[in-house]
Chains A and B, each alone.
Chain A
């Protein structure tokens, strides 16, 4: 319990995790958005929740950010229980959701000052922080224009800035870069990396393996409200996606089986086969060195006409390896509302 009033605005730093969830469950009608989630995030690290639409990522963030109560389980953020001490938790977190949650009729500066005052950091500090953040997020020129006139990227930056006004020790970012152009995405990644260097703990959700790879110390792959695999980016790629993916597209679909045999001699990974399309793929450790040997062996088996591609694994590949379905198929199932599949969550 809080004995010292000053400790209110401080996270508990007695070696406890910054974010802790145990057995979180949440259902919307028959749809189980979260079906027993456990996570631990150490202070000063980034954890990425990676999963397709409807996997439960947003529900998890909303529970941790005190916007929603779980049906079962418990969670602590910065050492405080999200259900028993939501007021304290709110003063220690920043949240950036999927929509740029800014007031369109206010200027960028007014938005930040308003959020600062609602964090109760005082009018003058709110003003100072607004100026600092506008500078840091390259919004100074547009600072006194209504945010209605901002581009999508500028709004996202303003939204992220708003969640940082009170320098919260824990930050939740729900798909912070979805819908952003590549340049804005890179800029946001830089900002997020900078925050973590200064000691902020970040939990972010994303649909992009690349994003999780670039930012996170730890990645949890989430599907149907379960964490189906977790670990470092390196571990996930090795277990599930491979460093590089070799992909074959055969002209003669009848040769698919033989090609699969050949491909499987190049590693321990699972060969994914699409006989209809004459396509095969497999994760390998070092693509460039095996390529000449692959060509030779295919040639020896009489396979001569094909395209071969090396590419970075995507979320699809990790998903395919972990669940046997691509993320797109998961989406399609959700949209079709098939039974036994957890559909797209409302909101």
Chain B
């Protein structure tokens, strides 16, 4: 490797954070400038939470646990919100690709990771807003964190971090499909199975054996269980679930960041 090339790489690394912040700013402005998008992407999860709580609440039997359904529902719902929300990362990136602005970024002497990292960070800010909003709505309809403030904060942070990790999966998909509509459809294809084949809505034990095998290692199950442990007094010990969640998050970020940035370098 020539010295110039090494220098180029080093200066790219040094610029990763400032460049990422510029792209984050630009991606956040999208929500500010499109208030309708913000409105409907906010109303939708609120509506879903209310529907789940009042429509299914009476019917879904959570065994002998003397919970109000909202106590069971909300911790998992926060995970679901960020997982579904993460599909927007690929849509936004596919949009950039189809409009040619990705070519502009790629022709600039900026960090190769910044375009993707800026987008996933902006989406993570959106998840923070959504998760806090859902907690607020949850409180209005009877949800309560049962383990004190510190655990509540930890639960919110875990949900947001999980969303950040899934944004990277979504970024990789966005860089692979390169087309807005395909990105939208592709998002649902991978998200539905992992959301539904999990402990989010029903206990894993109620599923057929082959599905249980998947559901038990599913990062959504693991994180839903962590969320319940952090939020509820009957949720069980925190660590046995939490370390698995954090391992999943770390693993997903490392693998999909590398894959997505590699795609970004090679788009033709």
| Shortest distance from the beta carbon of A296 to any chain B beta carbon, whole Å | 56
CB of B29 within 8 A of CB of A105, answer yes
Q: Are B4 and A2 in contact (CB under 8 A)?
A: yes
Q: Is the beta-carbon distance between A93 and B107 smaller than 8 angstroms? A: yes
Q: Which of A62-70, A210-218, A230-238 contacts B (4 or more CB under 8 A)?
A: A62-70
B103 A101 Cβ-Cβ under 8 A: yes
**For A93, what are the chain B residues with a Cβ–Cβ distance below 8 Å?**
107
A334 within 8 A of B: no
Q: Are B4 and A85 in contact (CB under 8 A)?
A: yes
B43 CB–A CB distance under 8 Å: no
Chain A residue numbers with a CB within 8 Å of B209 are: none
- Within the assembled complex, what's the spacing in Å between the Cα atoms of A103 and B268? 21
Q: How many residues of A contact B (CB 8 A)?
A: 40
Q: Which residues of chain A are within 8 angstroms of B8 by Cβ–Cβ distance?
A: 85-88
The reply to whether B103 and A95 form a contact with Cβ atoms under 8 Å apart is: yes
Q: Mark B11-28, 1 if CB is under 8 A from A, else 0.
A: 110010011001001100
- The reply to whether A95 and B104 contact each other, CB–CB distance below 8 Å, is yes
Interface status of B106 (Cβ within 8 A of chain A): yes
The answer to whether A68 touches B268, judged by C-beta atoms less than 8 angstroms apart, is yes
Chain A 96-115 interface 0/1 with B at a Cβ cutoff of 8 Å (1 = within): 01111111111000100011
Interface string of B102-128 (1 = CB under 8 A from A): 011111111000100000000000000
* Bound Cα distance from A260 to B245, whole angstroms: 83
Q: Mark A104-128, 1 if CB is under 8 A from B, else 0.
A: 1110001000110111100000000
Contact B101 A117 (CB under 8 A): no
The one of A97, A101, A105, A114 in contact with B33, judged by C-beta atoms closer than 8 angstroms, is A105
| One of B7, B99, B101 near A2 (C-beta < 8 A) | B7
Asked whether B104 lies within 8 Å of A87 as measured between CB atoms, the reply is no
- A120–B30 touching, CB < 8 Å: no
A84 touching B5, Cβ below 8 Å:
yes
Q: Measured between alpha carbons, how far is A77 from B27 in the docked complex, in Å?
A: 32
Q: How many chain B residues touch A (Cβ–Cβ < 8 Å)? A: 33
Q: Are B101 and A110 in contact (CB under 8 A)?
A: no
B36 within 8 A of A: no
List A contacts of B110 (CB < 8 A). 118-120
Return the chain B residue nearest A87 by Cβ: B8
Q: CB-CB < 8 A to B108: which residues of A?
A: 90, 115, 118-119
B68 contacts partner chain A, Cβ-Cβ < 8 Å? no
A74, chain B: closest CB distance, angstroms: 15
CA distance A101 to B109 in the complex (A): 16
Q: Write the nearest CB–CB distance from A94 to chain B, whole angstroms.
A: 8
Asked if A91 and B109 sit within 8 Å, CB to CB, the answer is: yes
List, in ascending order, chain A residues with CB within 8 A of B268's CB: 28, 62, 67-68, 347
B29→A67 contact, CB < 8 A: no
Interface residues as binary, B180-217 with A (CB distance below 8 Å gives 1, 0 otherwise)? 00000000000000000000000000000000000000
Q: Does A142 contact B (CB under 8 A)?
A: no
Which residues of A are in contact with B by a Cβ distance under 8 Å?
A: 1-2, 8, 28, 62, 65-68, 80, 84-88, 90-91, 93, 95, 97-106, 110, 114-115, 117-120, 146, 162-163, 347
B residues with a Cβ closer than 8 A to A are 2-5, 7-9, 11-12, 15, 18-19, 22, 25-26, 29-30, 33-34, 99-101, 103-110, 114, 267-268
25 A-B contact pairs sorted by A residue (CB < 8 Å) = A1-B4, A2-B4, A66-B106, A67-B103, A86-B8, A87-B8, A87-B9, A87-B109, A91-B109, A95-B104, A97-B103, A97-B104, A100-B100, A101-B101, A102-B101, A103-B101, A105-B33, A106-B29, A110-B29, A114-B26, A115-B104, A117-B22, A118-B22, A118-B109, A118-B114
